Structure 1
Amino acid sequence: MAISSKRERTRSRLGECALALFEERGFEATSVAQIARAAGVTEMTFFRHFGAKEQAVLTDPFDPVIAEVVSARPRDEEPLARAVRGLRSALSGLSEADLVMVRRRVRLVARTPALRAAAVTQNEVTSAAIAERLAAGGADPFTARVAAQTVLAAVTTALYAWAEDPHWTLIESIGAALDVLDQGHD
């Protein structure tokens, strides 16, 4: 993913520094001041980019892409199939560098109770975006919410398994979880 603006570069640098410090020192033992110092910015700059230190690890630029790809699926597909197949399509856009960063982030979240709890809230935002796109495409709003939550529960389970098992690729892990939901995929 190419980073073009100074704002995007600063945000990316803050996220990278936060992740490295969390891995080295632990999430709880790392302060926003330490992250800002490592990134060469002020604490105020950190808070312009992230509302809390959890967000430096949990904010995922891939989430809006998922909602867009789900929205682009054929509207005659059932909501769950649209969500599953849209997510499958979106996975193909991740680079190897993205995958390395995602594994590090997910591993940290899986091992850190405070981050795991915050990830639930983050998933609600992603779920709402997916459900909104499904409903805009004609799905019943309740069915859209159930489909979005179901897909995210499967993906979260797959992500945590993948983060801890070096033998799985992200595509294999999420693919296996999505296969459970979409027995008739192509």
Structure 2
Amino acid sequence: MTSSPGEPTGLRERKKARTRAAIQRHALRLFHEQGYSATTVDQIAAAAEISPSTFFRYFPTKEATVLYDPFDPVLIEAALAQPPELSPIDALRATMDFIREQIPAEEWEGERQRQLLVFREPELRSAVLDKFAEGIDLLAGYAAQRTGRPADDFAARNWAGAVVGVVMAAFVGAAADPEADPLVVVDQAVAHLEAGLPL
């Protein structure tokens, strides 16, 4: 894969996407090296060789550099492209394999570190709840499209809420394991949901 996840095709948009990715990459490196709380926006901007005002054109806050997930649109697009005979959950699981094969290992390791950071930092764990609400909207739209239902379908939203719930629970558990692979964790969570959440 030669382009970044969800990278736009227009030159200007590609440049903006690369700048956003570079800012996030430097931010995550600094958070890893010196801690989230100890890292400032000025330090991130300096590392990315931009001004603080440029930083704020891309991210409204420091926490946004961690919460921004460039893989969500890629995942949904790939899941929608799966064979129509697959159920929405089977299509999501097939997409996990596709993502693992297509995303370069270095990019995926950065994403894994980002996701683990979200669930380890108390400040970020509270902020991520809003992101999960967005995730319900995203997955409900995906489920509705896969099944030919209206975008606001009750069953599609309930399904999306269940998927987000098991994924969130799995991520919280995986945050204690520095070797955890988010794709494996997500696949296990979704498989458990598909099996009816047996105890």
Normalised TM-score (structure 1): 0.82
Alignment check: 8 A CA contact 1:70 1:130 kept = no
Q: Corresponding residue for 1:144? A: 156
Match of 2:176 in 1: 164
Q: CA deviation at 1:169?
A: 3.6
Identity of aligned residues (%): 36
Corresponding residue of 2:94: 89
Q: Which structure 1 residue ranges, 5 or more long, are not aligned?
A: none
Task: Give, in whole Å, the separation in 2 of the partners of 1:123 and 1:171.
Answer: 17
Matches of 2:127 and 2:51, distance apart in 1: 24
Count of equivalent residues: 180
The residue type equivalent to 1:122 in the other structure is K
Asked if 1:106 corresponds to 2:98, the answer is: no
Of 37, 46, 56, which residue of structure 2 is paired with 1:47?
56
User: How far off is 1:73 after superposition?
Assistant: 5.1
Q: Once structures 1 and 2 are overlaid, which stretch shifts more, 4-13 or 119-128? A: 4-13
* CA–CA distance in structure 2, aligned partners of residues 183 and 10 of structure 1: 42
Q: 1:153 to 1:181 in 2, by over 3 A?
A: same
Structure 2 unaligned residues grouped into runs of 5+: 8-13
Distance 2:157 2:142 in 1: 10
Query: What SS does the corresponding residue of 2:168 show, helix, strand or coil?
Result: helix
Structure 1 residue 163, shift from structure 2 partner: 4.0
Give the root-mean-square deviation of aligned CA atoms: 2.5
How much has 1:155 moved relative to structure 2?
Answer: 1.7
- Indicate if the aligned counterparts of 2:28 and 2:66 stay in contact, CA closer than 8 A: yes
